[in-house]
Structure 1
Amino acid sequence: MNKKIVPILALTLMMTLAGCKSSGTTNSAVNASESPQSIEAATATPQVTVSPNPSKTPIAGTSNKPTKVAMTGVTAIRLADAKVGWIGGNGWIAHTTDSGKQWQVQYEGSGEIKQLFALNGQEAWASIGDEGKLLSTKDGGQHWTSAGRVPNTAAFFHFISKSEAFSGNAHTVDGGLHWTNLPVPDGITGDAYFRDAKNGWAVKPGKDTVDVLRTQDGGKTWNRVMSRKNAASLTGTVIRSAGENDAWIELIGGSGMNQTSYSLFHTKDGGKTWQTVLANSTAGGGIAPGFPVGDNTGPKNTGAKPGPLYVVSPDVAFMGGQCLSCDKPNSIGLTKDGGKTWENGKETFTGYGELLLGMADANQGWLITNDNTQPSVMYTTSSGGANWAKAHNFDAPK
């Protein structure tokens, strides 16, 4: 064997094993590498997106009559509490009041349900298709009404009141009728995340670095609050927040051989200090983003690619992992101390499609697995992810 090949094979083997490594502990917090520095926002004047006039007449649903719709391929999930919530699929929305044991289809139409969001057991919203058609309900889903359209359909959309919501940097104060684009810096990767009208976060790659930016004035000014050396390609980001000074930043790197490298960082103090929560390098995707060559310090999530991230509080977060070469490819990991330690769940689940996760609190939540040839399956936990019980088998794909 060529002697030059041996080190490469050894490195590949180490990175492959790292993709399925178990729980770990980060010994100390990561400080931002430099003092906050102001970043100029995009100079374009924020534009107003005017939605088509919504209909005040409820859209014909099926909440009070039998339905023949097949509940296959669940695409969206949202809990109001541990018992009450909604799921959606291709052309349908369903509702449960008993933690998923029984489901009632409330809406039938065209288009895939992309996202669901609920303020409580009565008020909820759904986005449909790539065009972002927006539906809303005020009576627990008995009637769904057209509410306009959601811009930035790939971004996470969330309501913070009956009238105010965000989708990336798009902002509405009239329930989705009109949207204003809040200013963000040029060149960011993925979508910015605004917790409210003042506080937002974004990620921007630099030369051999990756920077986390924060605004506290609605995007007028942005400050660099973390800058890390980076040897990876940055292909995406996921940002969540559980408080004004709280941010969870997932960096998504390269992919190959059904593997994707990624990392997760967390701050509780507005970016003054950072915790490395996860650092998942893989053979196919390369080094995890936010690390220089030769450094991969941090706990590892199970699986070879990231699943859904669900943040409950500044201390508690859950994240799925997927190993597409495994018989049971899906798993759930979690932290209950803000990312200082990471615990990988002992249970694994079948299904080679998208994994969906929703939590009502630190202990109670729902998990749905999907597959192209097998029915979607729902599981519930009341033990903070330590144990999961099968709650429902959905209809088989046709």
Structure 2
Amino acid sequence: MRTQLSALAGLALISIGTLAGCATGQKTLTAPSIATNTIAANETVGSAATANTSSSATVNTTGNSIASTGNTTISPTANATPPSHSTGNSSVQTVHQGGPMIPAYVPFTQFGAKALHAVSFSSTEVGYAAGDNGIYRTADGGKTWALVYASTVPVLGIQAAPPVNDHIQNVVAFTKSSLLVSNDGRYFHAERAPGNAQGQGVSNVQAVALLDDASTWVLSGGTVWASGGLDGSMSRATPSAGVQSIAAVDDNTAYASTGQSVYKTVDHGTHWTTVLSAHLKGGSWHTDVQVQGNHVAVLFYGGDAGMSQSAFILFESNDAGKTWRPVLDEGYFSADYNGVKPVVQKNVGEQPGPMALLPTGEIVFVGVDERLNQAIVTRVTTNGKVTGPYKVGPALDVTPTQMAIAVPDAQHVILVGSKAGKGAIVMSNDGGLTWSRS
């Protein structure tokens, strides 16, 4: 079983992709509920707040939930109220700004959508993409998509857990200030994110890690929050201020990273231990940490920068953070890495894009080749075997802040972002050798 992390596209340069781990149990997602009192570290707040469980569409301040079953269609009727969930050959109306009437499932290009920021697949067939216009769902491996949540503010991240059965599909997405939760993958309900209710200012959600049992870890404004169990309440569980990335294995085990360090907890965030200190030179560094079982990967990026290049170096651990080795880097800034030499000695791009970590420990890394104006994909196994780089092609603008990745298995790779100002989805079914556009 696994969990993924869906993070804010481009904390500085990259879009954080898939994380994974193990958890037990099968339950329906319950939305976190946040109280209004000020709390100390690890103090539990909130109470049960059940996610959208009815079969009628929900309208809220951030968007509208849209049914997408059967042969439903979406009608762009201004100020229309979505009716009850419908199936078969009926239609569903929603507030959808402009454009012609769009059938529920169509090639993504027909939406004319703005930029996409995140993508997550719960299987090779079922997946979700999120962006400036809301949340889209596919049930056929990305051939066609349906708009299942129309948002008036950008949806910055999304993560889908493996389906429990035909009726339960837990999904969590987020805007800057809200969590969007669903227990069937079709209707989403907005909940206030942790942070602002505790007197910490306006929420700034950066990432959400959703476990297979529907428990969640949330990174908001540099602070880590963890679900308290079946009731969906949240507790503060953070190693220090200024956390940049999180990765969860289960309810007790998670990783968090700051500029040059990675921390690990095995007791639900009560205590944290430093498992890696990179000791990098140069300027300000940012991090992206990901996990699959005992496999952990962390990308340090930023540092010095010049022209179209940016320093970055990727480390991996295959023993749950006990030992680490450098895997790849942008070689021009090698002095910033204090003489560390990665196992991959080839060009993997002048800037880092998103990356994904497979259950086998294989890393799928997207770099930006500025000379070719293309995204390139490099794959690295746990024993250092390298394949690629594979050219993604011109169907996606190579803007690292507008790219995200999902890799449901070794052969299927999905990249989302933008092309000429419009949302774009490109896919590979052969591990990155060839690509097509949805």
| TM-score, structure 1 as length reference | 0.73
Identity %: 17
Sort the Cα spacing of 1:231 and 1:343 in 2 relative to 1 into closer, same or farther, 3 A. Answer: same
Distance (whole Å) between structure 2 residues aligned to residue 348 and residue 94 of structure 1: 22
2:116 paired with 1:74: yes
Cα distance in 2 for partners of 1:226, 1:150 equals 28
State the AA in 2 paired with 1:378.
Answer: I
Q: Is 1:199 aligned to 2:261, yes or no? A: no
Partner SS state of residue 324, structure 2:
strand
Letter in 2 for 1:104: A
Counterpart-to-counterpart distance in 2, 1:235 and 1:361:
30
> Does the Cα contact within 8 Å between 1:281 and 1:296 map onto a contact in 2?
no
Q: Against the structure 1 CA distance between its residues 107 and 215, is the aligned structure 2 distance closer, same or farther, given a 3 Å change threshold?
A: closer
Report the counterpart of residue 39 of structure 1 in structure 2: none
Asked whether the 8 Å contact 1:50–1:178 carries over to 2, the reply is yes
Post-superposition offset of 1:49: 5.1
Aligned partner letter, 2:254: G
Tell me which amino acid in the other structure corresponds to 1:66.
I
Asked if residue 158 in structure 1 is aligned to residue 163 in structure 2, the reply is no
* 1:309 partnered with 2:355: yes
Question: Displacement, 1:147?
Answer: 4.6
For residue 370 of structure 1, report the CA deviation from its aligned partner: 1.4
Gaps of 5+ in 1: 1-42, 393-398
Give the match for residue 342 of structure 1: 386
- Contact persistence 2:118–2:416 (CA under 8 A): no
Distance 2:356 2:299 in 1: 11
SS of 1:111's partner is: coil
The one of 69, 73, 83 aligned to 1:65: 73
1:345 is paired with a residue of what secondary structure? strand
- Tell me how far 1:275 sits from its aligned partner: 2.3
2:27 alignment partner in structure 1: none
Is the CA contact 2:312–2:330 (under 8 Å) kept in the aligned structure 1?
Answer: yes
Structure-2 residue corresponding to 1:171: 226
User: Comparing 51-60 with 76-85, which one deviates more in the overlay?
Assistant: 51-60
Q: Which string of whole-angstrom CA distances, capped at 9 and with x for unpartnered residues, describes residues 139-170 of structure 1?
A: x31x3233553657543312213441112321
In structure 1, what is the equivalent of residue 8 of structure 2? none
CA distance in 2, matches of 1:308, 1:235: 16
Match of 2:152 in 1: 110
Give the TM-score taking structure 2 as reference length.
0.67
Out of 61-70 and 247-256, give the one that drifted further.
61-70
- Return the offset for 1:239: 0.8
Give CA-to-partner distance per residue, 1:299-355, whole Å, 9 cap, x none: 2452111111111124212111113x43532111111x2162333323232213322
Report the CA distance shift for 1:267/1:212 in structure 2 as closer, same or farther (over 3 A): same
RMSD over equivalenced CA pairs, Å: 3.1
Match of 1:320 in 2: 366
Contact 2:51 2:183 in 1 (8 A): no
Deviation at 1:236, TM superposition (A): 0.9
Matched residue type, 2:378: G
Give SS of 1:133's match.
strand
Q: CA deviation at 1:388?
A: 2.5
Rounded Cα–Cα distance in structure 1 between residues aligned with 2:75 and 2:362 = 39
Does residue 389 of structure 1 match 2:435? yes
Equivalent of residue 275 in structure 1, options 325, 341, 348: 325
Is this contact kept in 2: 1:163–1:176, CA < 8 A? no
In the alignment, the residues of structure 1 paired with residue 270 and residue 158 of structure 2 have an alpha-carbon distance, to the nearest angstrom, of: 29
May I ask how many residue pairs the two structures share in their alignment? 333
1:136 aligns with 2:187: no
Give the match's secondary structure for 1:231: coil
Counterparts of 2:177 and 2:48 in 1: how far apart (Å)? 12
Matched residues in 1 for 2:437 and 2:327: separation?
A: 30
Shift of 1:47: 4.2
Alpha-carbon distance in 2 for matches of 1:367, 1:215: 31
- Whether the 8 Å CA contact 1:307–1:321 is kept in 2: the answer is yes
> How much has 1:249 moved relative to structure 2?
1.4
Q: Does the aligned pair in 2 maintain the 1:364–1:382 contact within 8 Å?
A: yes
| Rounded Cα–Cα distance in structure 1 between residues aligned with 2:417 and 2:335 | 26
* Residue of structure 2 equivalent to 1:377: 424
Q: For the structure 1 residues 124 and 204, does the alpha-carbon distance in structure 2 shift closer, same or farther, using more than 3 Å as the test?
A: closer
Contact 2:209 2:247 (8 Å CA) reproduced: no
Q: Check if 1:248 corresponds to 2:297.
A: yes
Q: CA deviation at 1:181?
A: 1.2
In structure 2, relative to structure 1, the CA distance for the partners of 1:349 and 1:228 (3 Å cut) is same
Structure 2 residues not aligned, in runs of 5+: 1-38, 59-64, 77-95, 97-111, 196-202
CA 1:82 to 1:301, structure 2 compared with 1: closer, same or farther past 3 Å?
farther
1:297 positional shift: 4.2
The structure with the largest alpha-carbon Rg is 1
- Would the aligned equivalents of 1:356 and 1:367 in 2 still touch at CA under 8 Å? yes
Structure 1 range deviating more: 93-102 or 190-199: 190-199
Q: Deviations over 1:26-74 (max 9, x none)?
A: xxxxxxxxxxxxxxxxx95224454896674541425333244442312
**Counterpart residue identity of residue 380, structure 1:** M
> Compared with structure 1, are the counterparts of its residues 106 and 272 closer, same or farther at alpha carbon in structure 2 (3 Å cutoff)?
closer
8 A contact 2:118–2:130 mirrored in 1 = yes
Contact 2:170 2:214 in 1 (8 A): no
> Equivalents in 1 of 2:398, 2:278: separation in Å?
34
- Is 1:84–2:126 an aligned residue pair? yes
